[in-house]
């Protein structure tokens, strides 16, 4: 239990630092690290965690210049990284940030590093202009991505990699998907305007917000009028486009956003699978909020004997596990948790899932392969190998969405099984 006031900046800095230490020890933010923080303090802690992880490469570069030797106390090093992020984003409150970081250091590592934290942060402020100049001259540090990740992007996208890197380092946009079973998009946009939330229509059911807001500010969110979903992810339902009454499988469905979108567009006989019961509960909660129904089952989709009743599906959605390299701005810990060898590991798992799910597609039916990755081994190369193994598969549509200010990065390939 922290001795610091819950609403103080010192508390937020301390807790963000401890979460970052857990991330670099191998834990994922998806494991609920932020859920342990009191709701009153969570927004401030979350901002510091996500921001400092997005800019870790930058902060790491600065500390390499500011520290005369490596700092053994990991929690203090993490505190400095979080504080530097705060100083860069809130320069008008620099004095307060330094003061509160020193206060936080007083309750960490037995208080032995208060003077060091004060000195490093004040040196950072004095040397900030020169440090930024040095950073700009160092391509790897300026990219704020691991060197192997950067090499992958440069090889695959020799012209686009700077834009991909910039998107990965930026805060993500916030978009909504209107539940057209409950309300029209234009009507919902008017409701947003009535509470001073500006938005722009996108695609058939989407609205891009000018600025992110908490979901409890969204009119009717808890009544199922709308969901938060990236525009890139909203492509899924229109690409698979199952006919009303179709038997549909969403094979890797949690947390249920794409499942729900399919059901919002048409009446379907839909089965949603996911590996863990806890993730299946999230699917059920989302469907209940939106007033939708589907079968939900916890199972490994590649082990057909555990869940398939032998009846083929008209349409299958295979939104497979991947490196999440296209959504790294939403999962900034992924850049630092992933290893280059993970790409081959994910690709092997994806191939296993594809081959299994292909068996449950009826002749003339469709399978939509989806990743939120930009690495070719998980995308175009994966599909090329699959088509070589499966002579009855026909590629109907393929697209690689690279992350931009408007949407995250996704790969889509629609396959049809020949009769």
Average pLDDT, the chain: 95
Asked whether residue 393 is domain-assigned, the answer is yes
Asked whether residue 336 is domain-assigned, the answer is yes
Q: What are phi and psi of 212, to 5 degrees?
A: -60, 145
Taking only the tens place, the pLDDT of each residue in 183-200 is: 999 999 999 999 999 999
From 98, 125, 143, the end of a domain falls on 143
**Please, which pLDDT band fits residue 398 given cuts at 50, 70 and 90?**
very high
Active-site annotation holder among 322, 372, 396, 413? 372
**pLDDT score of 1:** 57
CATH number at residue 163: 3.40.50.150
Residues 222 and 246 in one domain: no
Taking only the tens place, the pLDDT of each residue in 194-253 is: 999 999 999 999 999 999 999 999 999 999 999 999 999 999 999 999 999 999 999 999
Asked whether residue 3 is domain-assigned, the answer is no
Asked whether residue 366 is domain-assigned, the answer is yes
Classify residue 242 by its DSSP letter.
P
Please give the C-alpha separations between residue 116 and each of 19, 58, 74, 80, in angstroms, as whole numbers. 21, 20, 14, 10
Taking only the tens place, the pLDDT of each residue in 99-155 is: 999 999 999 999 999 999 999 999 999 999 999 999 999 888 889 899 999 999 999
Classify residue 275 by its DSSP letter.
S
Residues 354 and 379 in one domain: yes
Asked whether residue 90 is domain-assigned, the answer is yes
Residues 370 and 418 in one domain: yes
Asked whether residue 4 is domain-assigned, the answer is no
The residue segments making up the domain with residue 346 are: 145-171+231-419
Taking only the tens place, the pLDDT of each residue in 30-62 is: 778 898 899 999 999 999 999 999 999 999 999
Total domains present in the chain:
3
> For residue 410, is pLDDT > 60?
yes
CB 261 within 8 A of CB 248: no
Query: Quick check: is 252 catalytic?
Result: no
From 207, 229, 251, the end of a domain falls on 229
> For residue 261, is pLDDT > 80?
yes
Structure-block tokens of residue 356 = 């299994």
Residues 356 and 407 in one domain: yes
Q: What is the pTM of this model?
A: 0.90
């Amino acid at each position: 239990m922290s001795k610091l006031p819950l609403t103080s900046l010192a508390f937020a800095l301390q807790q963000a630092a401890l979460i970052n230490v857990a991330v670099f020890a191998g834990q994922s933010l998806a494991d609920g690290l932020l859920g342990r923080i009191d709701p009153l303090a969570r927004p401030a802690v979350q901002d510091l965690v996500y921001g400092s992880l997005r800019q870790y490469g930058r902060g790491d570069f600065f500390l390499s210049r500011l520290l005369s030797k490596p700092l053994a106390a990991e929690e203090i090093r993490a505190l400095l990284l979080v504080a530097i992020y705060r100083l860069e984003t809130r320069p008008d409150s620099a004095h307060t940030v330094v003061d509160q970081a020193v206060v936080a250091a007083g309750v960490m590592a037995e208080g032995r590093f208060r003077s060091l934290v004060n000195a490093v942060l004040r040196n950072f402020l004095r040397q900030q202009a020169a440090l930024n100049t040095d950073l700009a001259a160092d391509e790897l540090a300026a990219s704020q991505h691991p060197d192997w990740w950067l090499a992958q992007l440069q090889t695959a996208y020799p012209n686009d990699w700077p834009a991909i890197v910039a998107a990965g380092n930026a805060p993500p946009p916030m978009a909504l998907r209107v539940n057209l079973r409950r309300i029209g998009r234009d009507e919902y946009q008017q409701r947003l305007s009535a509470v001073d939330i500006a938005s722009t229509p996108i695609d058939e059911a989407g609205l891009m917000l000018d600025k992110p807001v908490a979901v409890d500010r969204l009119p009717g969110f808890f009544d199922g009028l709308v969901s938060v979903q990236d525009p890139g992810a909203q492509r899924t339902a229109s690409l698979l486009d199952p006919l009303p009454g179709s038997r549909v499988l969403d094979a890797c469905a949690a947390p249920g956003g794409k499942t729900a979108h399919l059901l919002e567009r048409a009446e379907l006989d839909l089965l949603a699978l996911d590996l863990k019961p806890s993730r299946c509960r999230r699917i059920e909660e989302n469907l209940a909020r939106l007033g939708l129904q589907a079968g939900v089952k916890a199972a490994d989709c590649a082990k057909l004997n555990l869940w398939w009743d032998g009846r083929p599906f008209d349409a299958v959605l295979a939104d497979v596990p991947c490196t999440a390299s296209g959504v790294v701005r939403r999962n900034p810990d992924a850049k630092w948790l992933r290893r280059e060898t993970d790409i081959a590991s994910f690709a092997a798992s994806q191939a296993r899932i594809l081959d299994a799910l292909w068996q449950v597609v009826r002749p003339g039916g469709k399978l939509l392969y989806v990743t939120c990755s930009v690495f070719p081994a998980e995308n175009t190369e994966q599909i090329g190998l699959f088509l070589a193994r499966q002579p009855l598969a026909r590629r109907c549509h393929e697209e690689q969405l690279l992350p931009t200010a408007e949407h995250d990065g996704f790969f889509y390939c629609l396959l049809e099984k020949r009769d």
